[in-house]
Every structure is written in C-alpha cells, then in structure tokens.
Amino acid sequence: MEIIFYHPTFDTPYWIAQLSKQLPGANVREWKKGDNEHADYALVWHPPVEMLQGRDLKAVFALGAGVDSILSKLKANPEMLPESIPLFRLEDTGMGLQMQEYAVSQVLHWFRRFDDYQAQQQKSEWQPLADYHREDFTIGIMGAGVLGGKVAESLLAWGFPVRCWSRSRKTLPGVQSFAGTEELGDFLRETRVLINLLPNTAETVGIINLDLLNQLQDNSYLLNLARGVHVVEDDLLQALNDNKLKGAMLDVFSREPLPQESPLWQHPRVVMTPHIAAVTRPQEAIAYIARTITGLERGDHVSGQVDRQRGY
C-alpha cells in the first residue's frame, strides 16, 4: 500500500513514522513536487493541484475537520479529484473535547458576568452585580454535526437550556432541534448565546448578518468557532455598537491573520483567539486515519466521507 503525505506546517517525519507504525506494510512517503509515482491514498492539507491530479486513488484524507479549502480548489480545478474518489475529513480526533473546553469556559465567563466585572475593574469600581439565571440563558448552536453535538452535550451538563439549528433535524438527547430556513427565526428568538459551528458552504457564507443578529434576544452573545466567512464583520460591529449584542468571542475571521486596521482588535466587548479553538491532535488523527484505511481495505462501512454537494 502506497500513501503520500503533504502538509505545509506539520512535523512530516513524525506523521510518516507514526502512520507507518500503525499501518504495517504500508509505504508512507512525503509528497514533493515532481512525484508522480503510484499512490493508493493521499493525506493532505491545502494540496497543490498536481499532487492529486491524474491519480487513481482509493481515497483522500483532509488533515482537518474542514474541507472547504479542497472543495474551493476543486471548483477551479475539477480535474484534480474525480467524483469517484472518496474524500474524508477528520470527524473528531480530539477536536470535540477542545471545542467543549472552549465553549464551556466562555459561556460560564459570560454567565457569571466576568465580562462586566472586568469592565468595572477598568473603572476601579467595586460593585456586586445581580446573578443571571440559567433558565434565561438559552444556548443556541448553529450546526449540529459531530462537534456541535459534543458542545451541546457539555453545556447540558451545566444545566443550560440548549437548542440547535441545522439543515436537517437532529435527535440529540436533551436538545431542542430546529431545521431549515423556515425554523431559523424560532430558533433565534429564545437564544441568549449563539454558538456557530456550521460547515462552510455556499449557503452559510455571510449567514450571521445584521438581520440574523437582530432576531436574537437583547444583550445576547456570539461565539464563532466555525469559519470567519460566516460572519459579516461590519454587521457584527453594528450589532455590538447598537447594544443588541453584549459581547462576542471570535476564534476565526474572514481574513487571517486579522488585518491590523480592523476595528475588532480594539472593541471593548470583543475577545479573540488566533484560530486555536480546536487543532488537529496528531495521535488521535493518525489513529483515526489508520482505522479508516484498514476498514476501507477490508471493505467495511466507514464514517467521515464528505458529501461534496453539501460541502461537509
């Protein structure tokens, strides 16, 4: 079995060594420009077109939960990867736990009014504030896939009302489910904290705009853990400046790094991190890829294959 590997920033020797250990008999090599030798599988992140084009591969694995970079490249270069070749993404591989940590820590930060106490500190004020109540602090999660389900589960454990919205209705224990554009308004009306975990598709670009934000409760919060292109940043700023939103925590942006001239840097009610909410953990990812390739070789049913039409 021949496997080619390409990632512009990962520790390639480590990945190759660990994959070789978990897939005995496989020859795993780093792909370099000019390598046109046979390969059965390709493991990639932002791959050059020539790496995949013309190959008779059994499958391609994206080395992350998102596949939008590959799909956007396929739009411009459809010959890069025929429809007959399955494309897989990393379904969880440790990302679910990281997303849970991030979401729970920030929701509790807002719920305990630590943002207000930080604002008071800047003014040298010492004033206990009235508590928020869980029943009035409904969490709405946009995107109810593997990661959305994990985040919902972790917030339920803290006693918050949790609801989700997605393209099709999901059955998640303890979570109120909404589906489709016709139910989006109902989903938003009772939401106090909006958490975005949507996939990046043509339908979801710009979905978090002023019209959507104005349907939330007053003094709501936004936590964006998915993609920057989901949020219209000027609309977000307006919602914050109009006091429709009380705060926003942003891990992703439409341009990364965020340009220095962006007003988001200095906004007093915006907190940001540099796209670190959930990163690929090598051990879990390698184990998942090895299991999936082994299953494909045996002809088993495996999960994680991307529906290219849906974009996830």
Q: Which residues are catalytic?
A: 227, 275
Segment 130-139 long-range contacts (CB within 8 Å, at least 24 positions apart): 134/158, 134/159, 134/160, 134/161, 135/161, 136/192, 137/111, 137/161, 137/192, 137/193, 138/162, 138/163, 138/190, 138/191, 138/192, 138/193, 139/107, 139/163, 139/191, 139/192, 139/193, 139/195
Question: Pick from 93, 109, 107: which is nearest to 152 by CA?
Answer: 107
Who's near 29: CB < 8 A, 6+ residues apart?
2, 3, 4, 5, 16, 35
